Amino acid sequence: MGVVFTLMFIPIILIAQVAIMLESFARVLVLHSQLVNLVVAGFLVINAGILAALLVVRAQWKKNGRMERNYIRSYQGWGYLWRLCVKLLLILGPIWQVLILILCVLYLVTQPLQYLAPIV
Protein backbone atom coordinates (compact mmCIF):
# COMPACT_ATOMS: atom_id res chain seq x y z
CA MET A 1 0.00 0.00 0.00
CA GLY A 2 2.85 2.38 0.82
CA VAL A 3 4.50 1.74 -2.52
CA VAL A 4 1.29 2.57 -4.39
CA PHE A 5 0.91 5.76 -2.35
CA THR A 6 4.50 6.73 -3.11
CA LEU A 7 4.21 5.96 -6.81
CA MET A 8 1.02 8.00 -7.06
CA PHE A 9 1.88 11.09 -5.07
CA ILE A 10 5.59 11.70 -5.74
CA PRO A 11 4.93 12.62 -9.40
CA ILE A 12 2.09 14.88 -8.27
CA ILE A 13 4.41 16.60 -5.77
CA LEU A 14 7.05 17.05 -8.46
CA ILE A 15 4.49 18.54 -10.86
CA ALA A 16 3.34 20.92 -8.12
CA GLN A 17 6.94 22.02 -7.48
CA VAL A 18 7.47 22.71 -11.18
CA ALA A 19 4.23 24.70 -11.28
CA ILE A 20 5.38 26.79 -8.31
CA MET A 21 8.71 27.46 -10.04
CA LEU A 22 6.96 28.51 -13.24
CA GLU A 23 4.62 30.79 -11.32
CA SER A 24 7.49 32.57 -9.58
CA PHE A 25 9.30 32.90 -12.91
CA ALA A 26 6.14 34.42 -14.43
CA ARG A 27 5.93 36.88 -11.53
CA VAL A 28 9.45 38.10 -12.23
CA LEU A 29 8.67 38.43 -15.94
CA VAL A 30 5.50 40.42 -15.28
CA LEU A 31 7.27 42.75 -12.85
CA HIS A 32 10.05 43.39 -15.37
CA SER A 33 8.09 43.28 -18.62
CA GLN A 34 9.96 46.26 -20.11
CA LEU A 35 13.25 44.45 -19.54
CA VAL A 36 11.82 41.38 -21.26
CA ASN A 37 10.81 43.59 -24.21
CA LEU A 38 14.38 44.91 -24.44
CA VAL A 39 15.79 41.38 -24.40
CA VAL A 40 13.38 40.27 -27.14
CA ALA A 41 14.30 43.34 -29.20
CA GLY A 42 17.96 42.40 -28.74
CA PHE A 43 17.21 38.85 -29.93
CA LEU A 44 15.42 40.35 -32.91
CA VAL A 45 18.45 42.42 -33.92
CA ILE A 46 20.92 39.57 -33.34
CA ASN A 47 18.81 37.08 -35.32
CA ALA A 48 18.35 39.58 -38.15
CA GLY A 49 22.14 39.85 -38.36
CA ILE A 50 22.55 36.09 -38.36
CA LEU A 51 19.90 35.79 -41.07
CA ALA A 52 21.68 38.39 -43.20
CA ALA A 53 25.01 36.58 -42.76
CA LEU A 54 23.47 33.23 -43.68
CA LEU A 55 21.87 34.70 -46.79
CA VAL A 56 25.15 36.34 -47.89
CA VAL A 57 27.09 33.10 -47.42
CA ARG A 58 24.36 31.14 -49.22
CA ALA A 59 24.41 33.56 -52.15
CA GLN A 60 28.20 33.24 -52.42
CA TRP A 61 28.03 29.44 -52.31
CA LYS A 62 25.33 29.37 -54.99
CA LYS A 63 27.27 31.84 -57.15
CA ASN A 64 30.41 29.69 -56.93
CA GLY A 65 28.48 26.46 -57.58
CA ARG A 66 29.21 24.94 -54.19
CA MET A 67 25.55 24.15 -53.52
CA GLU A 68 25.28 21.89 -56.56
CA ARG A 69 24.93 18.19 -56.02
CA ASN A 70 27.78 17.28 -58.40
CA TYR A 71 30.21 19.58 -56.59
CA ILE A 72 29.39 18.06 -53.21
CA ARG A 73 29.52 14.48 -54.53
CA SER A 74 32.97 15.09 -56.02
CA TYR A 75 34.39 14.89 -52.48
CA GLN A 76 34.65 11.74 -50.41
CA GLY A 77 34.68 11.02 -46.69
CA TRP A 78 34.67 13.95 -44.29
CA GLY A 79 34.86 16.51 -47.12
CA TYR A 80 31.59 15.22 -48.54
CA LEU A 81 29.91 15.08 -45.14
CA TRP A 82 31.09 18.57 -44.19
CA ARG A 83 29.87 20.13 -47.44
CA LEU A 84 26.54 18.34 -47.18
CA CYS A 85 26.05 19.61 -43.60
CA VAL A 86 26.93 23.16 -44.63
CA LYS A 87 24.48 22.93 -47.53
CA LEU A 88 21.73 21.81 -45.16
CA LEU A 89 22.65 24.60 -42.75
CA LEU A 90 22.45 27.16 -45.54
CA ILE A 91 19.02 25.86 -46.53
CA LEU A 92 17.43 25.27 -43.11
CA GLY A 93 19.23 28.05 -41.20
CA PRO A 94 17.47 30.98 -42.90
CA ILE A 95 14.11 29.25 -42.48
CA TRP A 96 14.78 28.86 -38.75
CA GLN A 97 15.97 32.46 -38.42
CA VAL A 98 12.86 33.77 -40.20
CA LEU A 99 10.70 31.75 -37.80
CA ILE A 100 12.54 33.27 -34.81
CA LEU A 101 12.18 36.76 -36.29
CA ILE A 102 8.44 36.25 -36.77
CA LEU A 103 8.05 35.05 -33.17
CA CYS A 104 10.04 38.02 -31.81
CA VAL A 105 7.99 40.49 -33.84
CA LEU A 106 4.73 38.84 -32.75
CA TYR A 107 5.85 39.04 -29.13
CA LEU A 108 6.77 42.71 -29.43
CA VAL A 109 3.51 43.54 -31.19
CA THR A 110 1.20 41.68 -28.81
CA GLN A 111 3.24 41.96 -25.57
CA PRO A 112 1.41 39.06 -23.89
CA LEU A 113 2.85 39.69 -20.41
CA GLN A 114 0.50 42.62 -19.93
CA TYR A 115 -2.48 40.25 -20.09
CA LEU A 116 -1.38 38.15 -17.12
CA ALA A 117 -3.16 38.81 -13.84
CA PRO A 118 -1.63 41.72 -11.93
CA ILE A 119 0.60 40.70 -9.06
CA VAL A 120 -0.08 42.35 -5.74
pLDDT in tens, 25-34: 777 777 777 8
Residue 117 domain-assigned (yes or no): no
Same domain, 96 and 42: yes
Same domain, 99 and 50: yes
Q: Which of 33, 42, 39 is nearest to 112 (CA)?
A: 33
Cβ-Cβ contacts under 8 Å for 51 (sequence gap 6 or more): 94, 97, 98, 101
- The answer, as to whether pTM is greater than 0.85, is no
Residue 100 domain-assigned (yes or no): yes
Residue 72 domain-assigned (yes or no): yes
Going from the C-alpha of 14 to that of each of 1, 27, 109, the distances in angstroms are: 20, 20, 35
Residue 119 domain-assigned (yes or no): no
Same domain, 42 and 95: yes
Buried b vs exposed e over 52-88: b needs ≥16 C-beta within 10 Å? Answer: eebeeebeebeeeeebeeeebeeeeeeeeeebeebbe
Residue 22 domain-assigned (yes or no): yes
- Number of compact structural domains in the chain: 2
Residue 4 domain-assigned (yes or no): yes
pLDDT in tens, 55-84: 999 999 999 998 888 888 899 999 899 999
Q: How far apart are CA 77 and CA 60, in angstroms?
A: 24
Same domain, 1 and 42: no
> What is the domain extent for residue 11?
1-31
Same domain, 78 and 59: yes
pLDDT in tens, 82-99: 999 999 999 999 999 999
